[in-house]
Every structure is written in C-alpha cells, then in structure tokens.
Structure 1
Amino acid sequence: MMMNQAYEKEIVAIILYTSAFFIIMSVVLVLFFYFSRKKIIQKELEKKDLEIQYQKELLSAVIITQEDERKRIAQDLHDDISSKLNIVSLNSHLLTTPNLSEAEVKEITGNIINLTGKALDNSRKIAHGLLPPVLDKFGLHAGVEELCLEFCSSKSVEVNYQNNVQFNDSDKDKHLHVFRVLQELMNNSLRHGKASIVSILFEENNNVKTCRYSDNGIGFDLKNSINQKGLGMKNIESRIAFLNGVITIDSQINKGITVVFNF
C-alpha cells in the first residue's frame, strides 16, 4: 500500500515537473517569437524609414535641379535676350529722331536687324535646352544622335553610339528622362571626368530596354560618399526611379566610369 502511494507520488511529481517544463518552454517560445517578431518589425520600420529618406533625397535633388535650371533660364533671358531687346528698343526710338541722314538710318536699321537675329538665335537655344525639337518630333534615337553630334562638334571628345532598340513614340515622356540622364552623364564625363571617348549602347532583352554608358575618363572613388551623393548623381537616380528602372555604377580612379540602367 505504502509502495503504491510512493509510486503515485512519483507519477504526480513527474507529471508536475513535465507540465512545468512544458509551461516554461511555452513561455520561452512565446517570448522568443514575440521578441523576434518585434525585431523583424523594427527592422522593417527602419527599412521603411531609409526608403522614405532616400525618396526625400531624390525629390530634393529633383527640386534643386529644377530650381537651378529655372535660375539659369532666368539669367539667360535677363543677361542676353532682355539686354539685346533693350538695345533694339533704343535703336527703334533713334529712328524717330528728326533730320537723320540716310547713312544713319541704314546703320541703326542694321543694328536692329543684327540684334534681333541674335536674340532669336539665343531664344532657340534656350528652347532647345528645355525640350530638344528633334527629340520631340523624331524620338529618342534621333535626339541621342543629335546630342552625340553636339558633343563631337567640340572636337574634345569622340562619341560611339549604337542603338539596337525600337523605341515606341507613346513613351516620349519616359524617353525625355532617358535623354536627360545621358545628357547629365556626358556633361559629367567632359567637365569632371576629362574623358576623350564616350560610348552609348541601347539593347533590349525580354521587353526590358537597357542603356550601357561608359567613358575613359579619370573616374572616381565609389566609396567616397561625396561622389555618391552629388547633386548630379541624385538627379540621375531620381529619373531612373521615375522610370521604375535599376541603375548600377562602376568606376575606379583613372579607369573611367560604366553606368548601366534599364527602363
């Protein structure tokens, strides 16, 4: 009888210890999953914060670029076209002066015609900078061809351009961003990269269009945060983000730069 009671107590003790063990394990697992989930949520929030910060930086780059462009246009209009038109206006008033000789009238008229012609040329250049007519009328391929010719005309750089893509005219808005990206890259190659050769290649695989850009310039250190966060690069990244594309940049000191992006 005593043995049975001892045996029953042992069974009860085992059940109690086993139950306690499972309860403790359950609590540990609950805490583990709770803190793991909390850590995952925290990391997701941090990732979202980084994405929001990145988007803010891109938006800021676009706004700053737009403002700089507006200032440049305003400066061009004021310093060049406005000043020429003021002189045209003064010369026009001179024509109303009494007793002008035929030679004086001819000289004043010549000045008016000359200055008006220069003002028209400069206004066309400003309009071309805002939206290249060739790009608007004939598409991205023609626009890039003209851009390459403009850079080649400086005699300081050789541009090799190859296009294996058929661009759709309905995507003109997107193509303007591609054009601006290439324009920014080529300006950087000349101004900062001191490049003498630039290469541009358009290809298409599985309905994804890719542009490969490279130069033989002095390059830069990708690890340098200043190079990564420059306004020009932020402007490029913002345009690629608008196109839902991906961009990769590879550069080394004295080994030029290679940029690949899709759109």
Structure 2
Amino acid sequence: MNKHSIPEKELVAIILYISLFLMIVAIVLIIFFYFTRKKIIQKELEKKDLILQYQKEQLHAVIFTQEEERKRIAQDLHDDISSKLNIVSLNTHLLSAPNLTAEETNEITENIINLTTKALENSRKIAHNLLPPVFEKFGLNAGVEELCEEFESSKAVKVHYKNEIDFDEKEIDRHLHVFRILQELMNNSIRHGKASQICISFKNIDSIATCNYEDNGLGFDSENTHNQKGLGMKNIDSRISFLNGNIQINSEINKGISVIFTF
C-alpha cells in the first residue's frame, strides 16, 4: 500500500465534511432565496394593493362626480322645468274660471305661452349639457368648436381654438371624456379664474394625442396640492385615468393656468 495514500477512514471523513458543508451551503442558499423571493412577492403584493387602492379612489371620485351631476340635473329640472310647468298648470285652471274678460283671458294665455317657451328652452339646455347633439353627430372637433362659441357668446371671454388631429369617429366614447375635461377647465377659467382669454389646441406629439389648454385668469399656486383637490380636478383626474393619459398643470397667482394632457 502506498504510504502517501489517504487512509480510508480519513477519506470517508473528508467526504462527509464536504457533503455536510455543501448541504449547509445549499440550506443557506435555499433560505436566502426563500426570503428574497418572499420580499419580492411582498413588494409585488404591496404594489398591487396600492394600484387597487388608487383604482378604488378613482372609482369613488367618478361615482361621487356622477352623483353630484345627477343632483345638479335634478335641481335644474326642479327649479327650471317643474316650477314653470306648475305655474302653467295653475294658469290653465284659471282659464276655466267663470266671468273672465277677454283681456284677462289673453293675459293668462300669454303667460302660459311664455312659460312653456322658457321651459322648452331650459329643457333643451339641460339635454345639451348631457350630450351635445353636434358632438354626437360630428365628433370631438365640432363639439369643441360649438363649446368655444357658446362661451364666447357670453362676451366675457375670447376663445382661440386650433386642431391638428383627425379624430377617429369610432372613439367617440373616449372623446366624450376629453370634451368633459375641456368643459370643466373652461368653467373653472370663467368662474374662478375670471379669465378673458382661453387658448385650446390639439396636436399629435410623438404619435400621442395631446391637448394644450391655457388661460390668462387669476391662476393659483400649483405647488400647493390642496388647490388641485377640488371636485372638478378629481373629475378631470378620473377621466384622464380612464383615457390612460397624463396631465400636467402649471399655474402662478395672477399668471393664469397652463394644462397639458394626453389621451
């Protein structure tokens, strides 16, 4: 037997030690990968929870906005339509009263005609606000053009509108969100910003439909997040989310507002 050969017992011991070492390394690696994987899964779950929470908040904002819109419509119907029709009904009953003079009959009839005409006009306005016929028939570009004309008709503001996009008529449901966003922005410019000039433009930037909106109103401090958490802005954020777009709002006090959003 070679004197330099390793004794069999020592060889077995070496093999056992190596095997034990490899087993320990394997266990350590398994534990390491287990906890690493667990952390990754935990982070993914946390990310999904955040996404779900955000979606819930967006859905809540949409539902809340819809309810507010329904209340407004119900109020308009009650104040403008119902009240006028009630007076029409009362005047109609007056016509059946005995001993009415021709002059009284003519006066009551004229009141009925005037009130009915106003009720019809107001009902058309309410229906128009729900879904403008021009938008439904001719699409976003025509709808925005009419919207600009309506705001200009008040003589309080001048609206400059430019469009460089050929809108797809098949996406009218998505375009309705864009229309509502502009409607909200323009209302804010008039009511809160007291703007006298509004500029709106559509263009494709890197094949992405983009809208630029500006006014020369009072503006606000856009660094203050509280200024961007009103019902109107929540409504806009919800619509941007549905469009899978992005929105950037910049404003300074007495320097108007600048909004860029994609859809």
| TM over 0.5, shorter chain | yes
Q: Structure 1 residues 11, 33: CA separation in 2 closer, same or farther (over 3 Å shift)? A: same
Per-residue CA deviation, residues 66-92 of structure 1 (Å, 9 max, x unaligned), is 111111111111122111111111111
Q: Which runs of 5+ in 1 are unaligned?
A: none
Q: Structure 1 residues 135, 129: CA separation in 2 closer, same or farther (over 3 Å shift)? A: same
Per-residue deviation at 1:129? 0.9
> If the length of structure 2 is used for normalisation, what is the TM-score?
0.87
Match of 1:242 in 2: 242
Match of 1:86 in 2: 86
- Listed as ranges, the matches of 1:175-254 within 5 Å are 175-204=175-204, 208-217=208-217, 218-222=219-223, 224=225, 226-243=226-243, 245-254=244-253
Contact kept in structure 1, 2:211 and 2:261, CA below 8 Å: yes
Contact kept in structure 2, 1:200 and 1:212, CA below 8 Å: yes
Contact kept in structure 2, 1:164 and 1:202, CA below 8 Å: yes
SS at match of 1:155: coil
- Listed as ranges, the matches of 1:136-175 within 5 Å are 136-175=136-175
Matched residue type, 2:41 = I
Contact kept in structure 1, 2:222 and 2:249, CA below 8 Å: no
Distance 2:12 2:194 in 1: 86
Distance 1:13 1:189 in 2: 86
Contact kept in structure 1, 2:158 and 2:198, CA below 8 Å: yes
Q: Structure 1 residues 220, 155: CA separation in 2 closer, same or farther (over 3 Å shift)? A: farther
Distance 1:48 1:227 in 2: 28
Distance 1:20 1:222 in 2: 62
Match of 1:56 in 2: 56
Q: Structure 1 residues 30, 210: CA separation in 2 closer, same or farther (over 3 Å shift)? A: same
Deviating more after overlay: 91-100 vs 5-14: 5-14
Contact kept in structure 2, 1:250 and 1:257, CA below 8 Å: yes
Distance 2:153 2:139 in 1: 21
Match of 1:37 in 2: 37
Matched residue type, 2:209 = K
Distance 2:238 2:116 in 1: 39
Contact kept in structure 2, 1:62 and 1:235, CA below 8 Å: yes
Alignment RMSD (CA, Å)? 2.6
Per-residue deviation at 1:117? 0.8
Q: Which runs of 5+ in 2 are unaligned?
A: none
SS at match of 2:247: strand
Per-residue deviation at 1:13? 6.3
Contact kept in structure 2, 1:247 and 1:259, CA below 8 Å: no
Matched residue type, 1:246 = G
Contact kept in structure 1, 2:214 and 2:257, CA below 8 Å: yes
Distance 1:248 1:153 in 2: 29
